[in-house]
Structure 1
Amino acid sequence: MRRFLFAGLVLAVAGQLPAAAQNTNSGTDKFAQLETMLPTPNSYRTASGAPGSDYWQQRADYDIKVTLDDAKQAITGRETITYTNLSPDALPYLWVQLDQNIFDQNSIASATQVGSMQDKVPFQALEGMLSDFDGGFKIESVTGANGRALHTVTNNTMMRVDLPAPLLPRQSVSFNVKWHYNINDQSKINGRSGYEYFAEDKNYLYEIAQFYPRMAVYSDNQGWQHKQFLGNGEFTLPFGDYKVSITAPSDHVVGATGTLQNAAQVLSSSQMKRFAQAKNAKKPVLIVSQEEAVKAEAGRATGTKTWTYVARNVRDFAWASSRKFIWDAMEIDQDGKPVMCMSYYPKEGNPLWGQYSTQVVAHTIKTYSKYTIPYTYPVAISVHGPVGGMEYPMLCFNGGRPEKDGTYSAERKYGMISVIIHEVGHNFFPMIINSDERQWSWMDEGLNSFVQFLTEQEWERNYPSRRGEPRNIAAYMATGSNLQSPIMINSESALQFGNNAYGKPATALNILRETVMGRELFDYAFKTYATRWAFKHPTPADFFRTMEDASAVDLDWFWRGWFYTTDHTDLALESVKSFNVSTKNPQVENVRLQQQKAAAPQSITAQRNATDIKQTLVEEKSELKDFYNGYDPLAVTSADQQRFAAYLKTLSPEQQERLGNTQNFYELSLRNAGGLVMPVVLQMTYADNTQEIQTIPAEIWRKNNEKVTKIIVTKKPVISFVIDPFQQTADTDLSNNAFPRQPAASRFELFQQQQQAAPNPMQQAAQASPMQKMEQKPGSGN
């Protein structure tokens, strides 16, 4: 490693306040208290971030009966909702969500959608623009418990139900709704549920959600949450108990939120036996095999079956139905409670789904339970179908399909595993820790993406996680402020939604854990938040306050910078000066000066004069020489030694020890070029090529948010300093992180125009050695 020279200056102590300590912050102080921006604590939500003594939340219980029309791809249903008012307020009306109305041709979402025409437009996009799909709820009736019609007003995706008399505190009211709607074709109209049509065997696979009118949340911090559903902002729902009866073709397999109540009526004896075997299995057991699913694909039952599911203390309900379903299951023990992990998937999902899905479900439940709270529901289900990824209590929809020949790329494999982890993980955020998704997407997507990252890393060492590593978010954070939004923004207004709601908050939490707080403090505080707000409705302030309350770490600066601004990390090491204590000993100091003089480069003039000037006048005439010709001012004399000895006598033993100190002092000039204050992670490489890491807390910037100088004292001489050597702070410009500067190594690639994409490596191997194809048993569940 190349050495570099520092300015050889003597350390001096000045009487005035150094520039690094002067408060020269411009604009808002980045360490100002955040409490002025947070809601005032009260008896419902405390200053510590915990629920208060008067905390309350509403309850909604459902009894639902729905029928799937496989010929018309439609749903008909009726429900009884029992709503319990646990607030201190009298409620003259109730608000019900009609989320299917987003597919109405006159919806706000459709009217406000923006876009531009390109030279090339995919068929799917054109079909979406020209679609005449008759979507949305068709409400047939809304009646009270006595059968009389209730007055309602529908405003796009919200319906107000006017009550005959105000619903008083601690009272309940029941009302009935009848409806029907058409299911969207996912290949033409994307949504969070829908159907997929398989032309080869002329079958449908349904993933059904938002299929029933459901209660909005009424809370202490905002009253009714009745923001319209526009697409990004997902769902905010109260907890309750569900009984749902689903009538489908008798050859369909139906999976749903909750536990199956009438297994003996809908499953064969062999399927019942296999399900029982899954309770003690070490690996997934097939309840419905691929052979059985293929046989069902070829038939068409004329009758129907009704599957009845019950779910306790959940905020929502979803289901899936198809005669194409393979079904496997494996029970695990989670904190002393059995959890049945299951997957439903068509043969087109194998071999990936049979090999991985249920194992990923089980791994996710175990890992999330470790970092948050124990999973409390009896089942956890992954369904493969048309929806790329969407979550509901105990059940989620996931993408990731291999090629028709059964091969797949590494990206496809890890993409499928990641989406299953992410969607199953949503059982914790927000299905149990029930944040307001309509308002704050980051509270479910960001927190969930963070724990997803932890779970991926425990699935496989060096797992290629897409989000979580600070280096992965740096490019986004370096974009202009007009191209990004603060994390603390409403879901529908966020720019670059994936980075804003998923990537940046997940990375922020990883930086908190690894760099700011440390794993022990962070993990305890994070579990405290999950425990406090399980089965409740937390807000951002509850999260911010709990993380500080449980760790004794002041994080106002972190929340302000990462969540309320679009500042980015760019810490620069602008210069380094070297200092050593002068020993006053001429035998030490004069030798050092002699070495510096010898090492100093000769000027270009002196170099040229050495050859151009053959002889100087003094060299020619010796009579011009005197005492100073040949005099060495650095030569140590006896007088010098006597003066040093006399000086030592004036010092105390402690001062004499300090004078002989051989430590090295370095003054580092640091600049916060990106605006986001962060800890300074400093790597020092010594002259003997050993290294040391120092982490300086972010509070180094508290007196001056923009520029500081820092004194570093070492026993060994340092030959290089590097800021953020492991890229753990999302620094957007690494070129100014090292002193002396280090070139950023990269490569350019030569390529031929119109290069054809190569098959995935598994496919290439199979094509090259057809006799050595991997033996795969689709649907084996192994």
Structure 2
Amino acid sequence: MRKAFYALLMAAAVTVSAQEKPTQKREPGHKDSNKMSQMYDLMATPNMFRTASGAPGPAYYQQQADYKMDIELDDKNTKLFGKETITYHNNSPESLEYLWVQLDQNINTKDSKSKLIESQKMDPAYKADAFSRRYMEDAFDGGFKIDYVQDTNGKPMKYTINQTMMRIDLPTPLKKGEKISFSIKWWYNINNYRVIGGRSGYEHFDKDNNNLYVIAQFYPRMAVYNDVEGWQNMQFWGAGEFALTFGNYEVNITVPADHIIDGTGDLTNRAEVFTSEQLKRYEQATKSFDKPVVIVTQDEAEKAENGFSTKKKTWKFNAKNVRDFGFSSSRKFIYDGMAVQLGGKTVMAHSLYPKEANPMWGETSTRVVAHTLKTYSKYTFDYPYPKAISVSAEDQGMEYPMICWNYGRPDEKGYVSDRIKYGNMSVIIHEVGHNFFPMIVNSDERQWTWMDEGLNTFLQYLTEKEWDANYPSNRGPAANIVPYMSGDQKFLEPIMTNSEAIHQFGSNAYGKPATGLNMLREVVMGHELFDHAFKTYANRWKFKHPTPEDFFRTMEDASAVDLDWFWRGWFYTTDYVDMGIMDVKQYYVTETQPENMKDHKVKRGRFNEDDGPFVYMVADGPDTEKVQKKALNTKDVKLLNAYLSEKFTSEERLELKTPKYFYEVTFDKPGDMLMPILVELSFEDGTSESHIFPVQIWRKNNQTASRVFATEKPVKKITLDPKLLTADIDTSNNTWPKEELKDKFDTFEKKK
């Protein structure tokens, strides 16, 4: 009877024993092309600097660059003057013959090659000012004007400028464990970024003739030297952002006396630059955890913007263990703040904005900053810096340690559309979130934009959903990346593409990696495993320089989930997800041997016709002509009923499953990207059940997979990926019976 029990699963559609076939020519051998293969061919070999687990190794090192700066902002002539002393610590095992310094402002020089690398076509029409700038006016005279580079004794040092990089030749090699100090003096014309473009500069207000400055990349900055490629001295062409070294900063910034400014680090002379009333309000803000306190009021800002003081004030900042420095300055600024409790310490959330940004900014900006710090800290580590600042700057979205500039203001009548409201909130979340990636988890933006933008966009999505479950997020949900993934392959690149070579920058470097991480969390790994692995990566590499391999390896190391198939497909190729229901067969149970089995010896592994009798599973079709097509009742199948009566007591039989309907579903995969199979069975009584089959179901055949479903109720409909969680680009093949209506993606778009 035991043999009969094992035979219950036998299918009539089983392959019959092979007839003798004519001799065929053998196919040639082939190499492994399975998409489940491990990634030894793509990832760098682990070593003592970076281990196979994805953690820093015992020989890991990183350099340090400390800065002391004196900066003066000339508001009348829109110029910035500065001098700095850099102390560079060589912690590497090598001696260094020269140092590389980044001169990012040189992208704005008259002879900048960055203007020559894009193809041009004649525009059919121009506004007068645009025509004048393009064809008639001299180019903006930007870029660093270097007055000197000298050692601590005032002796000139030899240097060579190559576009946005400057090499400083050392008189003697800087050995392991040694440090060197040198000084640079410079100035440059500040760009009107709304006219000329740029990640920093000034915004001009015609009505009151004031400027709002957002100043960054304003000083010569040390390039990174590391174990991966030595000096990271790739030119700054405009898209790839920055690779930077951690250090300590002492920065004195002199501005007109009626300006309000804030920047990276602690303000150490607050009592000298604030009025007594402003100091009292600031103290109130440090104790207000539920709402912002206005420190510099709108009335005070409006009075200042009409004054144009000829006096000066110097604001002094001190920042520890940061990779960069930025600041913002204007006499138009309203300034508010509130306290945030994180890990037993108080962090300040601040906003700086002109009256043109109210009432929206006063109502939401600082609250969003506080919410972002809390949410990001939950998923990574407690925010370690003393403050985070959001600055209102139209046409901007840029980040620096502790400070960022963000677009979005009401119109002149104070009206705020949902597009402006949510756009502003999203950019604040995103740019404040960059404090974590890459300001602390310090990846190389010049090479791998996705390592900060993609990871940050993923956390932005989680932060938006924690603000409001119905938040209209643009990036993160799998369905939102479908238009990009289904686009023309000529304009798609793998995520693992250098920043300057990407056609659709936002979708490639922000949207696709964020969507991929969301799919890992929702579909592949689950929240608990993903969140632990992601937090492990963040904590392993905070205040360090991770590579893509460090991220990939840590996510697997901390979760015990093999993700090589995912990194290979989603990050290293432009493969897209397209899975479908290829075929569905309904089976009926009978003791009558089907006609197509009578003339053949049936062999399949452990089954042999001589071992019968069998319970046969007959697929709906020609072979079921003599089979009663009805739901299974075990009493109707004598062989099965006899076995159950002999094997189980009446009480035990009540605990057994009672399947009545049997379906074999074959899934195919027109797309090359692997994903788990998510299936929903909808029954005739209106109920449904869900099944998830791990991605390993494709391991032996990357193109098709089959599963058998035994149900107690008749299936009315089968749906693949019913919640649109896998970025399937074609859902027209995702249902059985096939729907003639518009696919679910169109429905999803309408609902949005």
The SS at the match of 1:495 is coil
Q: 1:693 aligns with which of 690, 695, 702?
A: 690
Q: 1:129 aligns with which of 134, 150, 154?
A: 134
Q: Would the aligned equivalents of 1:25 and 1:706 in 2 still touch at CA under 8 Å?
A: no
Alignment of 1:188-203 (within 5 A): 188-203=195-210
Cα distance in 2 between the residues matched to 1:277 and 1:571:
58
Cα displacement (A) at 1:114: 2.2
Cα displacement (A) at 1:666: 1.5
**Paired residue type of 1:438:** R
Change (3 A) 1:510 1:16: farther
Q: Deviations over 1:200-256 (max 9, x none)?
A: 111111100000000000011111000100111000101000011110000000111
Cα distance in 1 between the residues matched to 2:351 and 2:420:
18
The SS at the match of 2:448 is coil
Change (3 A) 1:28 1:122: farther
Cα distance in 1 between the residues matched to 2:639 and 2:538:
69
Residue in structure 2 matched with residue 431 of structure 1 by the alignment: 439
Cα distance in 1 between the residues matched to 2:156 and 2:638:
107
Residue in structure 2 matched with residue 3 of structure 1 by the alignment: none
- What TM-score do you get using the length of structure 1 for normalisation? 0.84
Alignment of 1:349-748 (within 5 A): 349-583=357-591, 653-654=646-647, 662-745=659-742
**Paired residue type of 2:187:** H
Residue in structure 2 matched with residue 178 of structure 1 by the alignment: 185
- RMSD over aligned Cα, in angstroms? 2.9
Q: Deviations over 1:376-405 (max 9, x none)?
A: 000100001245200000000100011001
Cα displacement (A) at 1:120: 3.2
1:293 is aligned to 2:301: yes
The SS at the match of 1:729 is coil
1:88 is aligned to 2:93: yes
Cα distance in 2 between the residues matched to 1:180 and 1:531:
39
Q: 1:33 aligns with which of 31, 38, 61?
A: 38
Q: Would the aligned equivalents of 1:456 and 1:463 in 2 still touch at CA under 8 Å?
A: yes
Residue in structure 1 matched with residue 314 of structure 2 by the alignment: 306
Cα displacement (A) at 1:187: 2.1
Residue in structure 2 matched with residue 113 of structure 1 by the alignment: 118
Cα distance in 2 between the residues matched to 1:646 and 1:729:
44
The SS at the match of 2:305 is helix
Cα displacement (A) at 1:580: 2.7
Cα displacement (A) at 1:708: 2.4
Alignment of 1:137-286 (within 5 A): 137-281=144-288, 282-286=290-294
Alignment of 1:765-780 (within 5 A): none
Q: Deviations over 1:309-352 (max 9, x none)?
A: 11100000000110000000111111111111100000010111
Cα distance in 2 between the residues matched to 1:651 and 1:179:
91
**Paired residue type of 1:335:** G
Q: Deviations over 1:134-188 (max 9, x none)?
A: 0100111000111100000100000000111110011100000000000111221
Cα distance in 2 between the residues matched to 1:437 and 1:270:
42
Q: Would the aligned equivalents of 1:11 and 1:581 in 2 still touch at CA under 8 Å?
A: no
Change (3 A) 1:452 1:188: same
Q: Would the aligned equivalents of 1:75 and 1:182 in 2 still touch at CA under 8 Å?
A: yes
Change (3 A) 1:673 1:299: same
**Paired residue type of 2:174:** L
Change (3 A) 1:412 1:670: same
Identical positions, percent = 53
Cα distance in 2 between the residues matched to 1:154 and 1:562:
39
Q: Would the aligned equivalents of 1:124 and 1:187 in 2 still touch at CA under 8 Å?
A: no
Residue in structure 2 matched with residue 102 of structure 1 by the alignment: 107
**Paired residue type of 1:653:** E
Q: Would the aligned equivalents of 2:666 and 2:706 in 1 still touch at CA under 8 Å?
A: yes
Change (3 A) 1:76 1:715: same
The SS at the match of 2:194 is coil
Residue in structure 1 matched with residue 68 of structure 2 by the alignment: 63
Q: Would the aligned equivalents of 1:98 and 1:214 in 2 still touch at CA under 8 Å?
A: yes
Cα distance in 2 between the residues matched to 1:514 and 1:714:
26
Structure 1 window deviating more from structure 2 (121-130 vs 158-167): it is 121-130
**Paired residue type of 2:118:** Q
Q: Which runs of 5+ in 1 are unaligned?
A: 1-8, 18-23, 587-591, 601-631, 635-642, 750-782
Cα displacement (A) at 1:596: 11
Structure possessing the higher relative contact order (Cα contacts under 8 Å, 6 or more residues apart): 1
Cα displacement (A) at 1:104: 1.1
Q: 1:76 aligns with which of 67, 74, 81?
A: 81
Change (3 A) 1:655 1:118: farther
Q: Which runs of 5+ in 2 are unaligned?
A: 1-9, 19-28, 595-616, 629-635, 747-752
Residue in structure 1 matched with residue 613 of structure 2 by the alignment: none
Cα distance in 2 between the residues matched to 1:16 and 1:671:
26
Change (3 A) 1:449 1:218: same
**Paired residue type of 1:690:** T
Q: Would the aligned equivalents of 1:249 and 1:304 in 2 still touch at CA under 8 Å?
A: yes
The SS at the match of 2:153 is coil
Number of aligned residues: 689
Cα distance in 2 between the residues matched to 1:705 and 1:381:
49
Q: Would the aligned equivalents of 2:164 and 2:235 in 1 still touch at CA under 8 Å?
A: yes
- What TM-score do you get using the length of structure 2 for normalisation? 0.87
Alignment of 1:338-349 (within 5 A): 338-349=346-357
Q: Deviations over 1:270-292 (max 9, x none)?
A: 11111011011131111110111
Cα distance in 2 between the residues matched to 1:732 and 1:568:
7
Q: Would the aligned equivalents of 1:191 and 1:387 in 2 still touch at CA under 8 Å?
A: no
Cα distance in 2 between the residues matched to 1:91 and 1:596:
78
Q: Deviations over 1:441-500 (max 9, x none)?
A: 000000000000000001112100010000000110001211110000001111200000
The SS at the match of 2:366 is helix
Cα distance in 2 between the residues matched to 1:533 and 1:414:
31
Cα distance in 2 between the residues matched to 1:678 and 1:461:
26
Cα distance in 2 between the residues matched to 1:84 and 1:681:
53
Cα distance in 2 between the residues matched to 1:382 and 1:530:
23
Cα distance in 2 between the residues matched to 1:431 and 1:94:
22
Cα distance in 2 between the residues matched to 1:633 and 1:180:
91
Q: Would the aligned equivalents of 2:266 and 2:317 in 1 still touch at CA under 8 Å?
A: yes
Structure 1 window deviating more from structure 2 (533-542 vs 657-666): it is 657-666
The SS at the match of 1:575 is strand
Cα distance in 1 between the residues matched to 2:402 and 2:122:
40
The SS at the match of 1:34 is coil
Change (3 A) 1:319 1:583: same
Q: Would the aligned equivalents of 2:394 and 2:408 in 1 still touch at CA under 8 Å?
A: no
Q: Would the aligned equivalents of 1:193 and 1:387 in 2 still touch at CA under 8 Å?
A: no
Q: Would the aligned equivalents of 1:216 and 1:224 in 2 still touch at CA under 8 Å?
A: yes
Cα displacement (A) at 1:649: 7.5
